[in-house]
Amino acid sequence: MTDALSIARDLVRCRSITPADAGALGVLENLLEAAGFETHRVTFSEAGTADIDNLYARIGREGPHISFAGHTDVVPPGDEAAWTVGAFAGEVKDGLLYGRGTVDMKGGIACSVAAALQYLADHGGKPKGSISFLITGDEEDVAVNGTVKLLQWAAARGEKFDHCVLGEPSNVETLGDCIKIGRRGSQSGTLHVEGIQGHVAYPHRASNPVPDISRLILALSDEPLDHGSAQFQPSNLEFTSVDVGNPASNVIPGQARARFNIRYNDLHTQASLRELVETRLAKATGNRIKARIVWEPSNANVFVTKPGAFTDLAVAAIEGVTGRKPELSTSGGTSDARFISQYCPVIEFGLVGQTMHQVDERTPVSDLEKLTKIYRGILDRYFA
């Protein structure tokens, strides 16, 4: 069966908790090969991480070339006894499909595959251009052996993408309320403040880093980084932990550390953002406090797909099925779209994300049907 519900149920029944595939890519590979797609299973490795299997499939060799992207790996189900139905049973109850990954994002993949197969069936098995699928099993974890390497592999083969739809659960409340056209960047670091360890009864012989790091935390987080841009909300710096590694109440610690994360908009690059924060730190420390920032590597750069013909046709397809004109949003965290944006314009549109990563993750079957029609509408308009 090649309808979205059947495909989604088959995918949910694969216990593909990162990094396990558990047959999920095989479900898609068999369907796409039968429809005439050229398929490739590609495994990537890196020291210290699990090997990850990925799938690339394409039909057609001419342009325009539209790709559907997604991931078949899922987060753990949590307490499986707490689920209304089995977390990997793929059961429908009261019009809802239950299962880990139903929303994030096996349901979206199922709808895109079903839409592509329907389009091909109605056009003699050939698109008026090219359709491809970029499917990884490495999104919910470290994301080093998945989409980023699959795109590099495809580019080395001479593959060129004109546009991409990533089927992440972009909608907030109801299907059709939101398209993600970009994401803020993410940069993490650790603030280190040096002191001098000593006995609390003799503070003049020590230098306590705790008051100092408290002052620096306020100095770095109180002043806005910016006030937002045309497409993005303001950047924000949030401290997430403070640690002195000191089990004794009568010892002044010798060092204090505070971790932070910044979500930044298109007014900054990683380099300019680091420079801004370092400048503020230097001003706050003066000549007394010894402090430094250790920055973590980041592959989460800010990106935006500017509104235009591609976003317009997606909006038209969504509005035609749901009657709603979706908001063009750049809110939320990071996704694999950050990698895809380096190769072609990308939008994110999938199911409603309210139950993702929760016990009883679920989606209405009617939303699967509507999302398939929306993807089909995108294909019709794209190749027209």
Q: Which residues are catalytic?
A: 73, 139
**97 and 12 Cβ atoms separated by less than 8 Å:** yes
**In the structure encoding, which two tokens stand for residue 373, read together?**
């029609």
Measured distance CA(354)–CA(114) in Å, rounded: 23
Q: Which residues pair with 134 in a beta bridge?
A: 56, 69
The whole-angstrom separation of Cα 130 and Cα 64 is: 6
Other Cβ atoms closer than 10 A to 354? 15
